[in-house]
Structure 1
Amino acid sequence: MDFMTRLYDLREEIDMKQKDLAAMLTIKPSAISKYEKGIAQPSIPTLIKIAEIFHVSMDYLLGLSSVKNPYSTDNFTPKEAEIIAKYRKLTKENQIRIDERLGAMIDSQR
């Protein structure tokens, strides 16, 4: 699937009009139409904003992946989400220690 199809599908999924997306991006509605028809390509900063608006990865938006957001908490079990939340509360120093310990544990499993 390509960018123009993905953009159209994402917009339609949430019932968003071209003019509404254009307003969020501070561009003309005709630009959205051109993107969806494959007549024009958005700039990289605009692509980033589009991905943020729809909460998808750039790879998904560009048609390079079928996974909307590989880092979404929707993909985590409750226990995994709990571990990540705890990890984020640690100082950088302690995060480094955890990373090192995890690496050692993974290496010992091989």
Structure 2
Amino acid sequence: MQCAIIEHKEVQFMYSEIFAQRIKKARNDTGFTQEEVSKETGIIRSTIAKYEIGTLQPDLEKLGILADFYGVSIDWLLGTSGGKNNPFPGGKSSIA
């Protein structure tokens, strides 16, 4: 049982590292500062900074907000898809 817990933590760390890299790449690719992203999304700048260094992961709502803002898919942000493009029309990251 202990092995499964360690394995789960390793997988979780891998995804948080990928998310941190991709959320920062999305911001850099669009040319926004953390402060500008904060103003546009309503997510506190220090929270965005923590996402980018991998010390905090967003909840599902904020993940959707960021994916919509950057025009990328949630799958791409999480590293579960190689494709950066959002598969939903109009920049939406979910069917709503």
TM-based fold match above 0.5? yes
- In the alignment, which of 19, 25, 31 is matched to residue 9 of structure 1? 25
Q: What residue in structure 1 maps to residue 46 of structure 2?
A: 30
Percent of aligned positions that are identical: 33
Q: Could you list the per-position Cα deviations for residues 30-85 of structure 1 after superposition, in whole angstroms to 9, with x for gaps in the alignment?
A: 11110001111111100001110111111001111110126378xxxxxxxxxxxx
Q: What is the CA distance between 1:14 and its match in structure 2?
A: 1.3
Residues in 2 aligned to 1:40 and 1:72: alpha-carbon distance in whole angstroms: 27
Which 4+ runs in 1 deviate beyond 4 A?
Answer: none
**Cα gap change, 1:48/1:72 in structure 2, threshold over 3 Å: closer, same or farther?**
closer
Deviation at 1:26, TM superposition (A): 1.0
- In 1, distance between residues paired with 2:55 and 2:43? 16
Q: Within 5 A, what are the aligned runs for 1:61-100?
A: 61-69=77-85, 71=87
Structure 1: how far apart are the matches of 2:88 and 2:59? 25
What is the TM-score of this pair, normalised by structure 1? 0.60
Corresponding residue pairs, total? 73
Indicate the structure (1 or 2) with the bigger Cα radius of gyration. Answer: 1
Q: Which runs of 5+ in 2 are unaligned?
A: 1-16, 90-96
TM-score, length basis structure 2: 0.69
